Amino acid sequence: AQTVTQSQPEMSVQEAETVTLSCTYDTSESNYYLFWYKQPPSRQMILVIRQEAYKQQNATENRFSVNFQKAAKSFSLKISDSQLGDTAMYFCAHRGEYGNKLVFGAGTILRVKS
Amino acid sequence: DAGVIQSPRHEVTEMGQEVTLRCKPISGHNSLFWYRQTMMRGLELLIYFNNNVPIDDSGMPEDRFSAKMPNASFSTLKIQPSEPRDSAVYFCASSLWGDTYEQYFGPGTRLTVT
Closest C-alpha among A93, A27, A103 to residue B45: A103
A109 vs B: CB within 8 A: no
Distance from the Cα of B24 to chain A's closest Cα (Å) equals 16
Q: Name the β-bridge partners of B60.
A: none
pLDDT score of A97: 77
> What is the rounded CA–CA span in Å between residue A59 and residue A39?
20
Q: How many beta-carbon pairs below 8 A join chains A and B?
A: 47
pLDDT band at B110 (very low <50, low <70, confident <90, very high): very high
Give, for all 114 residues of chain A, the pLDDT tens digit.
789 999 999 999 999 999 999 999 999 888 899 999 999 999 999 999 999 998 889 999 999 999 999 999 999 999 999 999 999 999 999 998 776 788 999 999 999 999
| Omega before A40 within 30 of 0, i.e. cis | no
pLDDT tens readout for residues B72-103: 999 999 999 999 999 999 999 999 876 566 89
C-alpha span between B29 and B99 (Å, rounded) = 10
pLDDT in tens, A78-102: 999 999 999 999 999 999 877 678 8
Stated as kind and residue range, the H or E segment containing B60 is none
Query: Nearest by CB to B43, which of A33, A100, A104?
Result: A104
The percentage of chain B sitting over the pLDDT mark of 70, rounded to a whole number, equals: 96
Within chain B, what is the greatest distance between any pair of CA atoms? 41
Output the pLDDT for position B88: 97
Q: If pLDDT is split at 50, 70 and 90, which confidence band does B62 have?
A: confident
Q: Name the residue of chain B whose CA is nearest to A97's CA.
A: B101
The per-residue pLDDT for A70 is 94
Nearest CA distance, B42 vs chain A (angstrom)? 6
Instruction: Work out whether the CA dihedral A110, B42, B33, B73 comes out positive or negative.
Output: negative
Q: For chain B, positions 28-57, list CB contacts with chain A under 8 A.
A: 31, 33, 42-43, 45, 48, 50, 55-56
What integer pLDDT is reported at residue A101 of this predicted model? 83
The pLDDT value given to residue B1: 63
CB contact under 8 A, A100 and B95: yes
User: Percent of chain B, pLDDT > 90?
Assistant: 84
pLDDT tens digits, one per residue of B21-31: 999 999 999 99
Q: What pLDDT shows up at residue B97?
A: 77
